[in-house]
Amino acid sequence: MGIYDFKETALDGSEVSLKDYEGKVLLVVNTATGCGFTPHYEPLEAMYKEYRDRGFEILDFPCNQFADQAPESDEEIHQFCQVKFGTEFPQFKKIDVNGETADPLFAYLATEKPFEGFGKGLKAKGLEKFANMNNKKFGDAAYIKWNFTKFLVDREGNVVARFEPTVDMDEVKKAVEAAL
């Protein structure tokens, strides 16, 4: 099984095959509107505007499994992102990324690029404490540790990198540029 075998649900309820994105560089992200990392939408949208004409797509999957940071409806989340950050990249229906109800795409991505830590520094240490408390209930199915985890997929469909939310967005941008 590969990335192009997955089907996801668009905001309008239609089914989207990831095969539609074959040949493009993808950044797949689980997001939330009330997270300390929500400002990542700004550099994500800037990257999207800069690189979409070169075959780059960001696939946004809102998730409410981390401290109830995305409790709104799909439409409210979409409006928030458009109004506050001007997002134009594809946003899908809200999903779970952990546990028995985890979206299979995220289980696959996390299996391809497992969690290796949040890095160093105070922000990373603080987040690790909250993430560990939150993810205990998911056990071995705690695939994603927090909102704004990003997976980079190359043009051939290979998952080439995983970026935890604590990774500087300039580092993410450099990896996207290299993949393009």
Active site residues: 35
The continuous run of DSSP H or E covering 17 comes out as strand 15-17
Residue 91, SS3 per DSSP = strand
Buried b (16+ CB within 10 A) or exposed e, 145-154: bbbbbbbbbb
- Which residue type, as a one-letter code, is found at position 22? E
For helices 41-51 and 169-179, what crossing angle results, to 10°? 20
26: part of which helix (H) or strand (E)? strand 25-31
Strands, sheet with 150-153, edge to edge from the N-terminal-most edge strand: 56-62, 25-31, 150-153, 159-163
Question: Nearest Cα to 40, choosing from 48, 20, 158, 25?
Answer: 48
Q: How far apart are CA 119 and CA 123, in angstroms?
A: 9
